[in-house]
A and B are shown apart, each in its own frame.
Chain A
């Protein structure tokens, strides 16, 4: 009739319990924790790598034609995200960053949506040549190659 852990049980009654009283003592997430996404629209170049690489496909892009360029908004819907941070790794410009903020308990769905918009100015459009010149350039091109 052996009683396992009897000694530890009695000893631990007198020791301090090892509970972190979370809501009172705010706990910092460990280094490199992949939490909430931070999106820096100014760095983004709308290359779409993150969309292609995101497994659950929770990144969506909306492009809107405006006069000074197309207004591009990226929506990171974290409700569907697996926090694998592939998007952050593949982003050539480092526009996406997963912070250590793990407070993702939300009551309405909107808070999980991280979005950022930027206006991508098109390169200065070369002057519009009349139709005729366009064909000449093409013929010269063709002649050069022969």
Chain B
């Protein structure tokens, strides 16, 4: 009965979960700035949640340091099903300048397929909003595929 409405609502209220795997916090400030009055992601329904169980889109920042590797894997597994992984900045994409360092465990796609990657070090808030818009489409496809 609500099938169509549930489909539509997946576009309208994607919830974000911010996962920092050792980033220099450049991208983290950008993510937060997306929610400030100037860029206001909330007008499109985005909301930062505290627990991975509530999230649809996971924003990963930072090159996966060895400490945060298995925590990353465990937290990503705990997100309920139609989920989208978005990598912010170049670190998760390709461990940026830290490539080859002893404590960096390689780019994110070694552990989980990246759906949307937003390049930039740090990416501009508008770029993040673009990325999130793309992520919403992927979310809807995944939701349709899941049904």
Instruction: Spell out A's residues near B (CB within 8 Å).
Output: 17-23, 27, 29, 33, 35, 55-58, 77-83, 102-107, 109, 112
Beta-carbon nearest neighbor of A80 in chain B: B94
- Residue in chain A with minimal CB distance to B26: A82
The answer for the CA separation of A91 and B127 in the assembled complex, in Å, is 27
CA distance A33 to B120 in the complex (A): 11
Least CB separation from A106: chain B residue: B117
A18, A29, A57, A83: the one within 8 Å of B38 (CB)? A18
Interface size class of B (residues with CB under 8 A): 20 to 34
A107 pairs with B115, CB closer than 8 A = yes
Q: Does B116 contact A (CB under 8 A)?
A: yes
Residue B8 is within 8 A (CB to CB) of chain A in the complex? no
Measured between alpha carbons, how far is A35 from B118 in the docked complex, in Å? 12
* Nearest CB in chain B: distance from A106 CB, A: 6
Give every chain B residue within 8 A of A83 (Cβ-Cβ): 120-121
Decide: A80 and B93 in contact? CB cutoff 8 A.
yes
CB of A82 within 8 A of CB of B38, answer no
With A79-B117, A102-B127, A106-B116 as given contacts, are A18 and B37 in contact (CB-CB < 8 Å)? Answer: yes
> How far is it, in angstroms, between the C-alpha of A80 and the C-alpha of B94 when the chains are bound?
5
When distances are taken between beta carbons in the complex, the residues of chain A under 8 Å from B58 are none
Q: In the complex the two chains form, is A56's CB within 8 Å of B127's CB?
A: no
How far apart are the CA atoms of A107 and B99 in the complex, in Å?
22
Chain A, interface SS category: loop
- In the assembled complex, the Cα of A80 lies from the Cα of B119 at a distance in Å of 8
* CB atoms of B133 and A23 under 8 A apart: yes
CB distance from B44 to the nearest CB of A (A): 9
Q: Report yes or no: A19 in contact with B94, Cβ–Cβ below 8 A.
A: no
Q: Which of A17, A33, A109 has the most CB of B within 10 A?
A: A109
User: Within 8 Å of chain A (Cβ to Cβ): is B43?
Assistant: yes
Q: Which of A23, A27, A77, A105 has the most CB of B within 10 A?
A: A105
| A79 and B89 alpha carbons, distance in the complex (Å) | 8
Does B13 reach chain A (CB closer than 8 Å)?
A: no
Other 11 A-B pairs with CB < 8 A, given A80-B94, A105-B118, A109-B93: A17-B37, A19-B38, A55-B97, A56-B96, A56-B99, A80-B95, A103-B126, A103-B127, A104-B127, A106-B118, A106-B119
Cα(A19)–Cα(B41), bound, Å = 10
Distance between A21 CB and nearest chain B CB, rounded to angstroms = 8
Residues of B within 8 A of A21 (CB): 43
